[in-house]
Amino acid sequence: MESAVTERDESGCEKTSELAIQIYDSSNNQHSEMGNSEKETIYMATTQKEKRPPRSERKRRRHEELLLRKRENRKKKKMEMKERKREHAETQSDDANSKAGMRSREEVRQRCEEGMKTGQIICIDCSLEHLMSSKEKGKLAMQVGRLYGSNRRADKPAHIYLTGLKKGGQLYQEMVNKNSGFENYLIDVAEKTHVELFPMDRIVYLSPDSCIPLDDIDQEKVYVIGGLVDEGIKKNATQDRALEAHIPTARLPIQEHMTRQDGMPTSLVLAVNQVFDILLNFTQTRDWSRALAVGVPRRKGFIAHSNAFSNDQREDHNNTHGNEHINAHSNEKSNKHCKAHGNKESYTHSNEKMAEGGISRTGSESESNLTHSSMYSRHSQAS
């Protein structure tokens, strides 16, 4: 038995030795057949390091790589920002937060339904679609989503109308695309305009170009916000539209209740959702300073009086400078604007018409005037 194993081992060793000899002979033959130039090429390729490019070339490459990284980072940040905006617009219709925590969907729905019965009527005039580009229409749709979210979070929601919004139009499609569940929003959507839906003597059109500051909000009035996003500001667009229909206009009392920031340019033009937030806040606080502080961004060049002065400082400031200077400046500017655009006759005409018609109405009369089931489509389900 042991002799058999030994024989196999010896035969295996012999075969291994023969194979090693064959491999060695083959490699020697190939090496001997290789020319000197080929050997030198292989040697240089394996032993020599690659030569470094000139310094200027290295700097150029680094600069190109840096620019490429910056472009990629900008694209990435832009995509992230778009995604955040999209998510923000979609989450505006989610459950609202209260002081005690998350309110249930049913509570939010009940409050919004109550707002559609008794809340302050605020219209977004969507008939200005033809004045906007596709990009601007998309921005307006997102602003509508934001204001709807604000309305859901409010303790006393307003009654929102989107008037002059054609269902076959691009703006309506943008509303659907930009706002998840838009067709289930608790709002009223009408293809007819605010002039066709409401009595003329109840409508007040809000415009930053108006000469008249809005002193108070009347529950019986219908306040119209121009549904316009104009990246290049279209002067007097909403003002002229209201005056053509002989509708009285007003502007938010920013100049009367806020202070200009030194060294900053000022603007009275606000986004649609910002104007809505100010109106909604005022209906619940009856305080313009607080409402404007919530809705007017600092980049507009104004800050609330409460942020500009302490109570004692404000009293001293008013005693020293007086309100006459502010009012005189505001009135002078308003008169110049009115004379330039010939608005005094329009305001006189509107005021006379309001006086003749009599504005005082009962709740039942108001509700009867708002019964236009054939004129608009009401969304009846919560988002």
Q: What is the 3-state secondary structure (H, E, C) of the chain?
A: CHHHHHHHHHHHHHHHHHHHHHHHHHHHHHHHHCCHHHHHHHHHHHHCCCCCCCHHHHHHHHHHHHHHHHHHHHHHHHHHHHHHHHHHHHHCCCCCEECCEECCHHHHHHHHHHHHHHCCEEEEEHHHHHHCCHHHHHHHHHHHHHHHHHHHHCCCCCEEEEECCCCCCHHHHHHHHHCCCHHHCCCEEECCCHHHHCCHHHEEEECCCCCCECCCCCCCCEEEEECCCCCCCCCCHHHHHHHHCCCCEEECCHHHHEEECCCCCCCCCCCHHHHHHHHHHHHHHCCHHHHHHHHCCHHHCEEEHHHHCCHHHHHHHHHHHHHHHHHHHHHHHHHHHHHHHCCHHHHHHHHHHHHHHCCCCCHHHHHHHCCCCCCEEECCCCC
- Tokens for 309? 């002065």
Task: Give the N- to C-terminal CA distance of the chain in Å, as an integer.
Answer: 90
- Tokens for 5? 């194993």
pLDDT at 325: 38
Band (pLDDT 50/70/90 cuts) for residue 370 is very low
pLDDT at 304: 81
As to burial, measured by CB atoms within 10 angstroms (0-12 exposed, 13-18 middle, 19+ buried), residue 245 is: middle
pLDDT at 175: 97
CA distance 57 to 64: 11
Do 290 and 281 meet the contact criterion of CB atoms below 8 Å apart? yes
Band (pLDDT 50/70/90 cuts) for residue 235 is confident
Residue ranges making up the domain that contains 351: 109-257+265-308+342-372
Band (pLDDT 50/70/90 cuts) for residue 184 is very high
CA distance 111 to 153: 9
Backbone angles phi, psi at 214, to 5 degrees: -85, 105
Report the range out of 20-29, 36-45, 153-162, 300-309 with the highest average pLDDT. 153-162
pLDDT for 373 beyond 90: no
pLDDT at 313: 43
Band (pLDDT 50/70/90 cuts) for residue 265 is confident
CA 192, 196, 200: angle at the middle one, nearest 5? 145
Which range has the worst mean pLDDT, 120-124, 156-160, 232-236, 360-364? Answer: 360-364
Position with higher pLDDT, 342 vs 277: 277
Which range has the worst mean pLDDT, 37-51, 275-289, 309-323? Answer: 309-323
pLDDT for 126 beyond 60: yes
pLDDT at 367: 39
Residue 95 forms part of a structural domain:
no
pLDDT at 267: 87
Residue 281 forms part of a structural domain:
yes
CA 305, 238, 139: angle at the middle one, nearest 5? 80
pLDDT at 343: 43
Residue 29 forms part of a structural domain:
no
pLDDT for 364 beyond 70: no
Residue 13 forms part of a structural domain:
no
Residue 65 forms part of a structural domain:
no
Place of tokens 């499609």: 173
Residue 40 forms part of a structural domain:
no
Report the range out of 19-33, 222-236, 299-313 with the highest average pLDDT. 222-236
Do 248 and 205 meet the contact criterion of CB atoms below 8 Å apart? yes
pLDDT for 383 beyond 70: no
pLDDT for 23 beyond 50: yes
- Tokens for 242? 């209201």
What is the tally of structural domains in the chain?
1
Residue 33 forms part of a structural domain:
no
CA distance 126 to 135: 15
CA distance 241 to 122: 17
Amino acid at 183: E
As to burial, measured by CB atoms within 10 angstroms (0-12 exposed, 13-18 middle, 19+ buried), residue 51 is: exposed
CA dihedral 161→147→222→284, nearest 10 degrees, is 140
pLDDT for 59 beyond 80: yes
Percent of the chain surpassing pLDDT 90: 44
pTM above 0.85, yes or no: no
Residue 66 forms part of a structural domain:
no
Backbone angles phi, psi at 302, to 5 degrees: -125, 145
pLDDT for 226 beyond 90: yes
CATH of residue 163's domain is 3.40.1280.30
In sequence order, which residues have a C-beta less than 8 Å from that of residue 109 and are 6 or more positions away? 186, 382
